[in-house]
Each structure stands twice: as structure tokens, then as C-alpha cells.
Amino acid sequence: MTFDNTVLSNSISKSFPATMFGFFFAEEILRIMPASNFRGGMMKKRESGFTLIELLIVIAIIGILAAIAIPNLLSAVQRGKQKRTMGDMRALATAIEAYAVDNNSYPTATCAGGLFTTVGSQLTDGSFAALTPTYIAQAPKRDGWGTLMYYNVDPSGCAPNTSGTAPCSAYNITSYGRDAVQTGTPACGTTTSFNDDIIYSNGTFLQWPEGTQQ
């Protein structure tokens, strides 16, 4: 639908006093906004948006900022790792020196020499029949997660006696923890994961959980 300029002029003129001023005002409006701008009884709105040049300029600015910021960010991350490493080394050194004060020697990073940590065969429900009932009413063979534990005797610690048998002087009992999978080479000392192995040998724990567990 297109408005007739004459009709719109008469309509606007009636809203003012019957003077030539109203007529000329209506004509001025029609000159600024011609009838082609009126469609369906509503004035056509001018569509707005970004031009291609504007978008390219914005993309270029973002690229320049990224080229400046990303290298600095990566460098800051690496510097942070350096500082964290230095802090961890100080904390570890403090613990090592405290251990040396109590034991008159520095600790080793792995199990001390001579400790028997080699994992043996997995027990069965019929294992340790020789212990029952003389030494224990019911020998526990499963860990807290229901998995059969492992038992081993060190053959290198066995020596013939007068009866010709070979009594052994070293043994260990091992649990693989929650996941029932061997952690790896024992480190001895305390652990902080439910999945870490628990190792007991010759009357003492060689590797055991302590503190908050994950």
C-alpha cells in the first residue's frame, strides 16, 4: 500500500491552524520523506549493520593483540612452573634435613638396600593351613577390597639347618590397594592414594597409607 502525497498533506495540514504555515510544513515533511518510504501503513526502517571493511579492521586488531599477548602468557606460565619447582624443592629439602636430624643420615629416594619387597604369588582361600588354628583362628587372606593378597619368601635368605631343610629369614605380604593393580616399583614410606600398594615385611610396614587419600 502506497500513501498519496496529497492525502498525507491534507491530513497533516488539518492538525495545525488553517494557515499557510500548516500547509507548507506538510509539504516539507513530504519532501524529506517521500511516499516511497511508506509501505503497508508503516515507514520503512533503514537496515543497519557492519560493512566488510569494518569487520576486517576488527579482525586485524584482534590478531595484533593476540600476537602480542599469547607469547607473554606462555612465558608467564613457564615462569610460574619454575617458581613452583623451586618452592617444592625447598619443601622437600626441609623434610630431608628434618629426617637427617632424627635418623643421623639422609633418606634414600627408594627402598633402602636389603629390604625384601619382591611380590610373591597371590594367596588362595586354602593358604596358610599350617597357621590355623594353632597360631591364628582364621588367617585373613583378602584385603579390605576383597582381593586376595600376595605373599613371598626370600629364597636368598634361606639357609640349610641341621635337619636339612631351608628356613627363610625374609618374607613380605602385599596388597595392591583399591584397584587391585600393582603400582610399580615400591618407593617405601607413606602413600596418598587408595590405589597404592601396601607392603609389610619382617615385622614392619615398608609402604603404607598416611594422611589424606585420593
**Comparison of pLDDT for 156 and 24, the residue scoring more:** 156
Do the Cβ atoms of 203 and 195 come closer than 8 Å?
A: no
Before 133, cis peptide (omega within 30)? yes
Determine if the pTM surpasses 0.85.
no
Cα–Cα distance between 56 and 91 in angstroms, integer? 52
186 and 132 in a single domain? The answer is: yes
117 and 205 in a single domain? The answer is: yes
102 and 116 in a single domain? The answer is: no
Last residue of a domain, one of 89, 107, 125: 107
Do the Cβ atoms of 160 and 177 come closer than 8 Å?
A: no
Q: For Cα atoms 129, 130, 131, give the angle at the middle one, nearest 5 degrees.
A: 90
The whole-number pLDDT of residue 18 equals 46
Q: In the predicted model, is pLDDT for residue 93 greater than 50?
A: yes
First to last CA, the chain: 75
Q: In the predicted model, is pLDDT for residue 198 greater than 90?
A: yes
141 and 199 in a single domain? The answer is: yes
Q: In the predicted model, is pLDDT for residue 178 greater than 60?
A: yes
Q: Which of 50-64, 93-107, 155-169 has the lowest mean pLDDT?
A: 155-169
The whole-number pLDDT of residue 12 equals 47
Q: Which of 13-27, 106-120, 152-166 has the lowest mean pLDDT?
A: 13-27
Q: In the predicted model, is pLDDT for residue 74 greater than 50?
A: yes
Residue range 20-39: average pLDDT? 53
125 and 196 in a single domain? The answer is: yes
| Cα 108 off chain centre by | 30
Give the DSSP letter string of the chain: ----HHHHHHHHHHTS-SSHHHHHHHHHHHHHS-GGGEETTEEPPPP----HHHHHHHHHHHHHHHHHHHHHHHHHHHHHHHHHHHHHHHHHHHHHHHHHHHHSSPPPSSPPTT------EEP-TTTTGGGTTTT-SS---B-TTS-B-EEEE-GGGB---TTS---BS-EEEEE-TTTTS--SS---EEE--TTS-EEEETTEEEEEE-SS--
The whole-number pLDDT of residue 31 equals 61
* Number of domains observed in the structure of the chain: 3
The chain-wide mean pLDDT, for the chain, equals 76
Host domain of residue 63: 49-107
37-69 pLDDT tens trace:
545 555 555 566 778 888 888 888 888 888 888
100 and 169 in a single domain? The answer is: no
Residue range 101-128: average pLDDT? 80
The whole-number pLDDT of residue 25 equals 52
88 and 35 in a single domain? The answer is: no
The whole-number pLDDT of residue 149 equals 94
Cα–Cα distance between 122 and 147 in angstroms, integer? 9
The whole-number pLDDT of residue 16 equals 44
Q: In the predicted model, is pLDDT for residue 113 greater than 90?
A: no
The whole-number pLDDT of residue 53 equals 87
The whole-number pLDDT of residue 30 equals 55
78 and 158 in a single domain? The answer is: no
Q: Which of 38-52, 61-75, 79-93, 165-179 has the lowest mean pLDDT?
A: 38-52
Last residue of a domain, one of 82, 107, 132: 107
132 and 184 in a single domain? The answer is: yes
100 and 127 in a single domain? The answer is: no
Dihedral, 194, 200, 205, 208 alpha carbons, nearest 10: -10
29 and 78 in a single domain? The answer is: no
**φ, ψ at 174 (rounded to 5°):** -130, 135
56 and 87 in a single domain? The answer is: yes
